[in-house]
Structure 1
Amino acid sequence: MKKHSGMRPQDIVILLDIITMAQRPWMMKDIAYNTGISASEVSESLNRSTKAGLYDKYKSKVRGQALVEFLKYGLPYVFPQEPGAITRGIPTAYSAPPLNELILSGDKLVWPYPKGKERGQAIEPLYSTVAEKVQNNPKLYELLALVDALRVGRAREKELASKELEKRILDGWTIN
């Protein structure tokens, strides 16, 4: 068994993608397709997440409470982000659903993406394929945008993002 060398940003993307599948059966190739992360890296990621206590490999299930706690209290320290230069991209954090309905702001935060329709300050996504892959996955998009609010937001944005993540992860929230 490999030594645990710490979590990587793509581990969060993979765990959130599993959550979007709710109770449906899935295979690693499904996650690889949904996230743009290779199947071998998905396997490595799930091993890291198991060792970190965020994933139960025997039940093929994300440990929701542990993940929420890590996202709220660990993620901003482990994978911090600061807004960068103005660029074209896809809205994230408080500029994306659902927080954009709760927070009115003239500033926009975006994941850099040449086909994006918005302009705003760049936020580097947790994984390079995120901006493209969320185009067809609104559940994953919302979860990742909420996670970005934890990475870059102020106290109010972090509090709202935490509540929304808890609803989606712990209460079994789904989009129609």
Structure 2
Amino acid sequence: MRQHKGMRPQDIVILLKIVILGNQEWQFQDLARSLFISGAEVSESLNRSSLAGLIDYNRKRVNKISLFEFLQYGMPYVFPQSPGRMTRGMATAHSHPIFLEKIISSEIYVWPDIGGKDYGQAIEPLYPNQVKAAKDDPTLYEVLAMLDVLRTGRSREKKIALKYLSKLLLHDLSREHKEDTDSEGITW
């Protein structure tokens, strides 16, 4: 059987988790445990990402500029998502708490989760155990919600998400959130 060499949704999550970890040492099994996927899948994912030029040949350092460009221009086309049925779940996209003061919307988007406290339209997670991983890592949760904005959002929402992702990827903020106000009065 021929090996699949194209990007898969979890590849983006794995790369972003590496960025979030910053200078912390990690092994494939560390990523696997924190993202609730197998070590073999992490290895295969990093091979695909290396082939795509999104991580170095040692599979340790993410090419942040290329990743940001992929998120900005590719995410809505490669991994598009339309809101689905009403369900209980975990708030995502513009419904994530980080957006509450920045975007006013009557629509609520959620990742389906039987234990979720929100009720809204379903947004399919990028991979099956994404909700578990997001519950364990608030920074990952924020970043994944931003990705859902890119997959589902309107122009202004996408601009806000891209500003946040730009700071994470291009300005090495990692887990340190420094407040900044942009020209539209949006504070980060």
Range of TM-score over shorter length: over 0.9
Matching residue's letter, 1:126: L
* Larger CA deviation: 120-129 vs 164-173: 164-173
Q: Determine what percentage of the aligned residue pairs are the same residue.
A: 50
Q: Which residue of 2 aligns with 1:64?
A: 64
Structure 2, unpaired ranges of 5+: 177-188
Q: Which residue of 1 aligns with 2:24?
A: 24
Q: Which residue of 1 aligns with 2:179?
A: none
Structure 1 CA distance, aligned partners of 2:67 and 2:4? 17
Matching residue's letter, 1:125: P
Number of equivalenced pairs:
175
Q: TM-score, normalising length from structure 2?
A: 0.89
1:5 is displaced (CA, Å) by 2.5
Secondary structure (helix, strand or coil) at the match of 1:147 reads helix
Q: TM-score, normalising length from structure 1?
A: 0.95
Q: Which residue of 2 aligns with 1:92?
A: 92
Any idea what the Cα deviations from partners look like across 1:78-130, whole Å, max 9, x if unmatched?
01000001100000111114223311212110000001000010000101101
1:3 is displaced (CA, Å) by 5.9
CA RMSD of aligned residues (A): 1.4
Q: Which one has a bigger Cα radius of gyration?
A: 2
Q: Which residue of 2 aligns with 1:83?
A: 83
**CA separation of 1:29 and 1:161: change in aligned 2, threshold 3 A:** same
**CA separation of 1:148 and 1:38: change in aligned 2, threshold 3 A:** same
Question: After the TM superposition, which segments of 4 or more aligned residues of structure 1 sit over 3 Å from their partners?
Answer: none
Structure 1 CA distance, aligned partners of 2:143 and 2:102? 15
Q: Which residue of 1 aligns with 2:155?
A: 155
Q: Which residue of 1 aligns with 2:127?
A: 127
Structure 2 CA distance, aligned partners of 1:103 and 1:156? 9
